Structure 1
Amino acid sequence: MRDPGAAQLPVAYRECRQIAAAHGRTYFLATRLLSAERRPAVHALYAFARTVDDIVDRADVIEGTLDPAAIDHRVEDCAGLLDRIEKQLRSRLEGNPLPEQIGEKRDRILLALTDTIERYDIAHQHFWTFMDAMRMDIVGTKQYRDRYATMAELREYMCGSAAAIGLQLLPVLGTVVPVAEAEPAAAALGEAFQLTNFLRDVAEDLDRGRVYLPADELAAFGVDHDLLVHCHRTRRTDQRMRRALANLIAINRDIYRVADRGIDLLEPRVRPAIRAASTLYAGILDEIEHFDYAIFAHRMVVPRRRRIRVAAAEFAGALRRAPRP
Structure 2
Amino acid sequence: MTIAEAYAVCAGIAQREAKNFYYSFRVLPENKRNAMCAVYAFMRRADDISDDETLPVAERRVVMADWLEAWRAARRSGVSDDPVFLALNDTQRRFAIPDALLEDLVRGTTMDLDLEGSQAGMVYVTETVADKTQTLQVYQDFEGLYRYCYLVASVVGLVCIKIFGYTDPRAEDLAEKTGVAFQLTNILRDVSEDAGRGRIYLPLQDLSSGRVEVKQLLQVVRREAETKVVRSLLAQEAARALVYYAAAEELLPLIDKDSRAALWVLVTIYRGLLERIMAKNYDVFSERVSVPTSRKLMIMAQGMGMAVRNRMVS
Asked whether the two chains share a fold, i.e. TM above 0.5, the reply is yes
Matched, 1:308 2:283: no
CA–CA distance in 1 between the matches of 2:98 and 2:255?
18
Q: Which residue of 2 aligns with 1:152?
A: 143
Change (3 A) 1:263 1:307: same
User: Paired residue for 1:124, among 99, 103, 107?
Assistant: 99
Paired residues of 1:236 and 1:297 also in contact (CA < 8 A): no
CA deviations on 1:74-103 (whole Å, 9 max, x unpaired) are x333212221222222222233787xxxxx
Q: Which residue of 2 aligns with 1:76?
A: 58
SS of residue paired to 1:301: coil
Change (3 A) 1:226 1:121: same
User: Paired residue for 1:162, among 146, 149, 153?
Assistant: 153
Deviates more, 1:140-149 or 1:243-252: 140-149
CA–CA distance in 1 between the matches of 2:224 and 2:113?
27
Q: Kindly report which structure 2 residues correspond to 1:65-214, keeping only aligned pairs within 5 A, or say none.
A: 71=56, 75-95=57-77, 107-140=82-115, 143=119, 145=122, 146-175=137-166, 177-178=167-168, 180-214=169-203
Matched, 1:255 2:244: yes
* TM-score, reference length from structure 1: 0.85
Compute the displacement of 1:139 (Å). 5.0
The amino acid across from 2:29 in the alignment is S
The amino acid across from 2:16 in the alignment is A
Compute the displacement of 1:291 (Å). 1.9
CA–CA distance in 1 between the matches of 2:3 and 2:308?
32
Q: Which residue of 2 aligns with 1:35?
A: 29
Paired residues of 1:89 and 1:110 also in contact (CA < 8 A): yes
Paired residues of 2:216 and 2:229 also in contact (CA < 8 A): no
The amino acid across from 1:123 in the alignment is P
CA–CA distance in 2 between the matches of 1:163 and 1:96?
27
Compute the displacement of 1:266 (Å). 0.3
Paired residues of 2:258 and 2:310 also in contact (CA < 8 A): no
CA-based RMSD: 2.1
Deviates more, 1:85-94 or 1:145-154: 85-94
Q: Which residue of 1 aligns with 2:274?
A: 285
Compute the displacement of 1:171 (Å). 1.3
SS of residue paired to 2:36: helix
Paired residues of 1:185 and 1:260 also in contact (CA < 8 A): no
Deviates more, 1:247-256 or 1:303-312: 303-312
List gaps (5 residues or longer) in structure 2: 123-136
Compute the displacement of 1:136 (Å). 1.2
Q: Which residue of 2 aligns with 1:66?
A: none
Paired residues of 1:236 and 1:296 also in contact (CA < 8 A): no
User: Paired residue for 1:264, among 244, 248, 253?
Assistant: 253
Compute the displacement of 1:236 (Å). 5.7
* TM-score, reference length from structure 2: 0.88
Report the count of equivalent residues. Answer: 298
List gaps (5 residues or longer) in structure 1: 1-6, 63-70, 99-103
User: Paired residue for 1:244, among 215, 222, 233?
Assistant: 233
SS of residue paired to 2:139: coil
SS of residue paired to 1:147: strand
CA deviations on 1:10-55 (whole Å, 9 max, x unpaired) are 2221111111111112110111110112111100100110101000
Compute the displacement of 1:219 (Å). 2.2
CA–CA distance in 2 between the matches of 1:203 and 1:324?
46
SS of residue paired to 1:38: helix
Compute the displacement of 1:218 (Å). 2.5
Matched, 1:17 2:16: no
Q: Which residue of 1 aligns with 2:43?
A: 49
Compute the displacement of 1:252 (Å). 0.3
Paired residues of 1:147 and 1:212 also in contact (CA < 8 A): yes
